Chains A and B, each alone.
Chain A
Amino acid sequence: MQSVVIEAKTTEEAITLACRQLDATPEQLAVEILEQAPGMLMSFFSGKKARIRATRMQPPPNTETAEAAQRLQDILASIADRIQPGATVQMETRDGEIFYTISSDGSGIFIGKHGQTLEAIQYLLNKIRLSKFRELPHIQVDCEAYRARHFESMVELANRMCEKAKKRGAPVATNPLSPGDRRIIHMTLKKDTELTTWSKGSGALKKVIIAPRQSVQA
Chain B
Amino acid sequence: MKELVRYIAQALVDSPDAVVVSEVEGEQTSVIELRVAKEDLGKIIGKHGRTAQSIRTILSAASAKHKKRAVLEIVE
Contact = CB atoms under 8 A, between A and B. Distances in A.
A84 B62 contact: yes
Contacts of B65: 84, 109
A128 interface: yes
How many chain A residues sit at the interface, stated as a range, is: 20 to 34
Contacts of B55: 120, 124
Given A84-B62, A127-B51, A79 B4 contact: yes
Contacts, number: 55
Interface string B31-63: 000000000000100100011011101100110
Interface string A17-54: 00000000000000000000000000000000000000
A112 interface: yes
A78 B3 CA distance: 10
B62 A83 contact: yes
Interface string A130-154: 0110000000000000000000000
Contact of A127 (B3, B12, B57, B58): B12
How many chain B residues sit at the interface, stated as a range, is: 20 to 34
Nearest to A110: B61
Nearest to B50: A123
A31 to B, nearest CB: 37
Given A79-B7, A82-B3, A124-B12, A109 B54 contact: no
Contact of A78 (B7, B14, B58): B7
B11 interface: yes
